[in-house]
Amino acid sequence: MSANPWLFYGRRAERQQLQRILERRRWFFLQISGRRRIGKTALIQQALQGAGIAKTLYVQVPDSDPAGVVAACNAYLETFGINARVTSLGELAQLIGRLASEGYVIALDEFQYFHRKQLSDFCSLLQAEVDRLAARAADVPGGLIVLGSLHAEMTALLEDRDAPLFNRATDTLELGHLDTASVLEILRAHADENPERLLFLWNLFEGVPKFYRDAYEQGVLNAERKPLLNSLFFSSSSPLRNEADNWFLRELRGRYDMVLQYMANHPGCSNANIEAAMADLSGPGEVRQVGGYLKILSERYQMIERRLPIFAPPRARSGRYYIRDNFLRAWLSALQRPVSAVAFRPVDALIDQADQRLSEVEGHALEDLTGQLYEERSRLGIGDFPVSERIRGYWDRADVEIDLVAVNEEERRIRFGTCKRNPQRLPGAVDALQRSAGRFLAAHPRFNNWRVEYVAVSPTIAAEVGAALAGRGVIAQSLSDLIEGL
């Protein structure tokens, strides 16, 4: 384990926003949304400490019936030393009102479970308390924070016009992944910023602070790839061996897992690709259900996203599907099967298998990481290419493929990029990149007379490879170049 203690990393803007809400010392109703393990609870703890608030109650709502919720609440009341108990959801709502009036900040985690039919009465009961508190907001020193990890169900509870709590939230906060600068802050404190390590860990954990802390606590954040995989996934006490099943896949039923498995192994697949795969697995009758599966995985669970090539209209038919979360993609494509076979195969061979597959997946992750780094550098005003459009790739039906397209409207510059995990493959990719860029420019005449640039990206690029690229008029950029200054 690193000699440096684990600290709270990143989230400066979010922490400041939350502290400002707390420091008002008047009634508030805050909604915080974000995937599980993203650090919602840790953020609240930091903000409460920063605002000097000691009166707190935290309740993690179980996926249960009213009796289960009441029992869980009473256990938390005892833990927090609050001399009160409830016997019903109605009493829970009243208790929240009373505690807020006394200056408590109450946090209800996994609030989306109140969307379940057997718990739905609670929101109407809570509405009465919220309205009463809001009517005398200046005299109420406390507040309520509701946290949720299922976006669609949180939306249904708080933003649908027919919902009892519609328009009651005074503040909202959407918590995403840590940015790359924050991930680098973690690595500089507890490991190193070796570009291969950055890509390996980012492909596994992206910006989920809990996973980096798990690696830190296991003493492997600075370890080589295979010892890290063994400690986090393949040992009997590994903290992440059941993570995907517990926090992602347990919500799913039916064919959703088949769709996700296919998308993990075929990132960038089309709707037609998915339909064909489901027909092969389950027969042609399954094709009719694919649209429903994709809609639920996208809108309710936010596990997948449909991306369009840059400048494509929103309703274009050229969309491709991707799993949004790096951890879930890495688990399904590389780790799930080897981990499940631990009882039947030699562990070292399974770790080798997982590591090899992860190396292949990292090629796709490199494209996403490069785009994110371009955007972060532009936002901070560093680097050689300020961007005016979100970084995206480009493709069309004529087999044109460009990993990334960067646009600088002010300077009339456009940059086309190819990303390869293996730098030795970069010089051989130049012809295809320039040919595809030519077709792109022919299809988008508004870029006539713009300065056209080409870039080749890899974790590390040897001097001779960089020289070969420069001889072809291509800028060589390693991840070390792209993280400089972050």
390 and 459 fall within a common domain: yes
Among residues 174, 190, 218, which one ends one of the domains? 174
Q: At CA 365, angle to CA 361 and CA 370, rounded to 5? A: 150
140 and 240 fall within a common domain: no
Q: Predicted confidence band at 257 (pLDDT cuts at 50, 70, 90)?
A: confident
Among residues 158, 174, 190, which one ends one of the domains? 174
358 and 445 fall within a common domain: no
Whether the full predicted model's pTM is greater than 0.75, yes or no, is yes
Query: How many percent of the chain have pLDDT more than 70?
Result: 98
DSSP state of 163: S
**pLDDT tens digits for range 217-248:** 999 999 999 999 999 999 989 999 999 877 77
pLDDT attached to residue 290: 86
pLDDT attached to residue 225: 97
316 and 422 fall within a common domain: no
Among residues 324, 353, 373, which one ends one of the domains? 324
For residue 80, tell me if it sits in a domain: yes
**pLDDT tens digits for range 25-69:** 999 999 999 988 999 999 999 999 988 999 999 999 999 999 999
169 and 186 fall within a common domain: no
Alpha carbon 471 to its chain centroid, in Å, reads 39
Specify which residues 466 forms β-bridges with: none
pLDDT attached to residue 235: 93
422 and 471 fall within a common domain: yes
219 sits in the region (left: phi over 0; alpha: psi -120 to 50; else beta) called left
For residue 319, tell me if it sits in a domain: yes
285 and 270 fall within a common domain: yes
| Average pLDDT of the chain, as a whole number | 93
What type of residue sits at position 273? Answer: N
CA dist 157 and 414 (Å) reads 44
Q: At CA 480, angle to CA 475 and CA 482, rounded to 5? A: 60
For residue 211, tell me if it sits in a domain: yes
212 and 232 fall within a common domain: yes
Tokens, residue 217: 């606590």
Position with higher pLDDT, 399 vs 8: 8
For residue 434, tell me if it sits in a domain: yes
pLDDT attached to residue 404: 96
Position with higher pLDDT, 91 vs 286: 91
301 and 229 fall within a common domain: no
DSSP state of 167: T
- CATH number of the domain enclosing 135: 3.40.50.300
CA dist 470 and 474 (Å) reads 5
The average pLDDT across 376-396 equals 94
pLDDT attached to residue 127: 96
234-to-239, 242, 335, 353 alpha-carbon distances in Å: 9, 10, 9, 12
Residues 477, 457 contacting (CB under 8 angstroms)? yes
Tokens, residue 87: 């016997």
- CATH number of the domain enclosing 432: 3.40.1350
The average pLDDT across 462-469 equals 96
Least confident range from 13-17, 218-222, 284-288: namely: 284-288
Tokens, residue 137: 């907001």
pLDDT attached to residue 341: 95
Given a cut of 90, is residue 356 above it in pLDDT?
yes
The average pLDDT across 154-167 equals 91
For residue 375, tell me if it sits in a domain: no
Tokens, residue 465: 């490879």
Alpha carbon 206 to its chain centroid, in Å, reads 7
pLDDT attached to residue 251: 66
**Number of Cβ within a 10 Å radius of residue 345:** 11
Q: Predicted confidence band at 253 (pLDDT cuts at 50, 70, 90)?
A: low
390 and 436 fall within a common domain: yes
Q: What is the 3-state secondary structure (H, E, C) of 2-41?
A: CCCCCCCCCCHHHHHHHHHHHHCCCCEEEEEECCCCCCHH
The average pLDDT across 343-357 equals 96
For residue 53, tell me if it sits in a domain: yes
CA dist 192 and 122 (Å) reads 48
**pLDDT tens digits for range 290-344:** 888 899 899 888 899 999 999 999 888 899 999 999 999 999 999 999 999 999 9
CA dist 281 and 293 (Å) reads 15
297 and 358 fall within a common domain: no
pLDDT attached to residue 384: 92
Least confident range from 71-75, 119-123, 132-136, 282-286: namely: 282-286
For residue 6, tell me if it sits in a domain: no
Q: Predicted confidence band at 285 (pLDDT cuts at 50, 70, 90)?
A: low
**Number of Cβ within a 10 Å radius of residue 96:** 24
Given a cut of 90, is residue 110 above it in pLDDT?
yes
Given a cut of 70, is residue 254 above it in pLDDT?
no
pLDDT attached to residue 292: 87
Structural domain including 46 reads: 12-174
Q: Give how many domains the chain has, as a whole number.
A: 4
32 and 165 fall within a common domain: yes
Alpha carbons within 13 A on the beta-carbon side of 126: 26
CA dist 403 and 179 (Å) reads 21
What type of residue sits at position 215? Answer: A
For residue 463, tell me if it sits in a domain: yes
